[in-house]
Amino acid sequence: MKRLTLLAILAAPPAMAQNMVDCVLEPASRLTVTSSVDGVIREIPVRRGDMVEEGDLLYRLDSEIEELQLELSRTRAESDVDVRAQQTRLELRQREYERVEELSNRNVAASAALDDASIELALTELALEQSEFDRKLAAIEVRQAEALLERRSVRSPVSGLVVAVEATVGEYAAEQAAIMEIIETDPVHVEVFAPGELFGHIGVGDLYQVDLNPPLQGQFEGEVVIVDRFLDAASGTFGIQLSVSNPESKVPTGARCRIDFGPRG
């Protein structure tokens, strides 16, 4: 009996090995940057391997027509010639109406002349309102032209690493064509499939040490952000995701790692 007990103990995996789980370091997101409009690529200021910040220019399409349209719209919006002309006409019509009204009160001018002067005054007031309205429309056209021009320049939606550039300057970019690929490196996600024995012992917010597999070396603290509430029937495992802060991009994505989910002191 003692021999069988000893063999059983030797055959059982150590508690440390049971709790040591393999994992993979993955980027927080992987983005394929596409062209939202057609056009010839004028500029690509980034290359594969470059780090980019959110808002950095990734590429710019030819935009000569959009730039001219914006210049035209701004010229229209900034001009107040028509408004000032209508204001001058209104002042003139107002004086004419007052003069005809005075003559009509003295029975010197016919009532028809007063009616005509009143109509001219009203029409001039409407013309001034139309000029002011047209200027407001011109201001809206400026914003529209700015938006169309901005669409010719694509900026990074995230901070991360450029892992592929699929286009070159001078190439025609069709709508929805892939231009480049970017991975978000801060934070880094740690994907784990833990054995069912650990189910219920790991919770969101728990902190664990993540160790890189050889030949890489490094240790990082990860916070549990997702714990699947179901087990995979085939493998008897459940999914866990941890988040590792990586502001200086020192944590390598794509690397394999290990996590000890054993009891913590």
Confidence of residue 264 (pLDDT cuts 50, 70, 90): low
pLDDT attached to residue 3: 39
CA–CA gap between residue 125 and residue 123 (Å, rounded): 5
Sequence length of the chain is: 265
**Distance between CA 1 and CA 52 in Å, rounded?**
66
Residue 215 lies in a domain: yes
Spatial distance between the Cα atoms of 156 and 159, rounded to a whole number of angstroms: 7
Half-sphere exposure of 51 (CA within 13 A, CB side): 7
Residue 125: pLDDT over 60? yes
Task: Note whether 165 and 254 are same-domain residues.
Answer: yes
Three-state SS for 234-257 is CCCEEEEEEEECCCCCCCCCCCEE
Q: What is the phi/psi pair of residue 158, to 5°? A: -140, 165
Q: Are both 71 and 49 inside the same structural domain?
A: no
Residues 206 and 164 reside in one and the same domain: yes
Question: Is 141 domain-assigned?
Answer: yes
Cα(1)–Cα(112) distance, integer angstroms? 129
Task: Residue 187: name the closest of 64, 29, 57, 62 by CA.
Answer: 29
In a domain, 190, yes or no: yes
pTM over 0.75: no
Q: Which domain holds residue 108?
A: 65-150
**15-58, pLDDT tens digit by residue?**
444 578 999 999 999 999 988 889 999 999 999 999 999 999 99
Does residue 3 lie in a domain region? Answer: no
Residue with the two structure tokens 């929805």: 176
Provide the number of structural domains found in the chain.
2
Q: Name the E strands within the chain.
A: 20-34, 39-43, 51-52, 57-61, 153-155, 160-165, 172-173, 178-195, 207-212, 219-227, 237-244, 256-260
Q: pLDDT tens across 182-195, in order?
A: 999 889 999 999 99
Mean pLDDT of the chain: 87
Q: Is the pLDDT of residue 62 over 80?
A: yes
Q: Quick one: CA dihedral 15, 19, 20, 22, positive or negative?
A: positive
For the stretch 144-164, pLDDT in tens is 999 999 989 999 998 899 999
Tokens standing for residue 188: 């880094």
62: tokens are 């030819």
Encoding tokens for residue 174? 């069709």
Place of tokens 């927080």: 28
- Same-domain status, 250 and 214: yes
Residue 9 above 60 pLDDT? no
Q: Report, as an integer, the average pLDDT of 101-124.
A: 82
Nearest to 58 by CA among 153, 178, 200, 161: 153
Q: Are 75 and 112 members of one domain?
A: yes
Give the CATH number of the domain where residue 22 resides.
2.40.30.170
Distance CA 66, CA 72 (A): 10
Of residues 19, 36, 76, the one with CA closest to residue 198: 19
Q: Tell me, what's the pLDDT at 4?
A: 33
How far does Cα 252 stand from its chain's mean position? Answer: 24
Q: Is the pLDDT of residue 175 over 90?
A: no
Share of the chain above pLDDT 90, in %: 58
Cα gap 161→57, rounded to integer Å: 13
Q: Verify that 164 and 58 share a domain, yes or no.
A: yes
Is the model's pLDDT at 71 over the cut of 80?
yes
